[in-house]
Amino acid sequence: MGVTDILAGALAVGGSCADTESSFTKVLATYHSVPTVAAAPVPSATVRAISAVSSEFSGGVLTSQDNNKLSLCKIERELESYLQLEDGWDGYGGEAPSKDSVFAAIGFLKKVKESGYKLPKPMVSGDGEVGLYWDYADCYIDVGFEELGEMTFYAKDSYGEWGEDHPLSVGIPHHLREVLIRLSQLSIYRRSIDESFLTITTGSRAA
């Protein structure tokens, strides 16, 4: 079995984050001499695996969808790590986040991924609130999850500014969805511009 076959299995739809990370670690063990990977925490091993595989197999083995799946796993792992926090975790009397808040954030993250939106970064505050945020020059969003099945969000872009509270059962609220759509479309546009510029530059050098 070649590296492409292993990667295809690791990134198959429906595969768990643990399966994906395990498969990438096997790729490294097979094609690279990096003995520290096996002993490193899973997220770190995954990052090194992605980097190594991307650098050696730059011929399209890893697509943007593949990278998104690996990023999703990394975010989930970070959120799950908040379950290990205890009161005083930040050295300033910070409250430990509740399991309900952590699981609510993971569930919302999956809805964001399923909708095809740009993925956020995870965060936890001193009052124990678990959240997700997007921070860009022309757009800022943060979503917080509370114990009682509630979520709050603040979003701002060139079209306006919103701050709302909703039950988790709502899913992704209307205004938040609109901002996420614009952010994702802007990211796709910028990526296409960058790729076009790279193609032109490469072609000019070749000529």
Model pTM greater than 0.85?
no
| pLDDT-based confidence at residue 63 (cuts at 50, 70, 90) | low
pLDDT of 186 reads 82
Q: What Å distances lie between residue 96 and 72, 80, 81, 207, CA to CA?
A: 23, 13, 11, 60
Looking up tokens 């005083």, which residue turns up?
88
Structure tokens at 94: 């910070």
Q: Does 85 score more than 50 pLDDT? A: yes
User: Domain locations in the chain?
Assistant: 1-62, 88-207
Mean of pLDDT values over 60-69: 53
pLDDT of 147 reads 77
Q: Does 36 score more than 50 pLDDT? A: no
Task: Quote the crossing angle between the two packed helices 64-81 and 99-114, to the nearest 10°.
Answer: 170
pLDDT of 190 reads 56
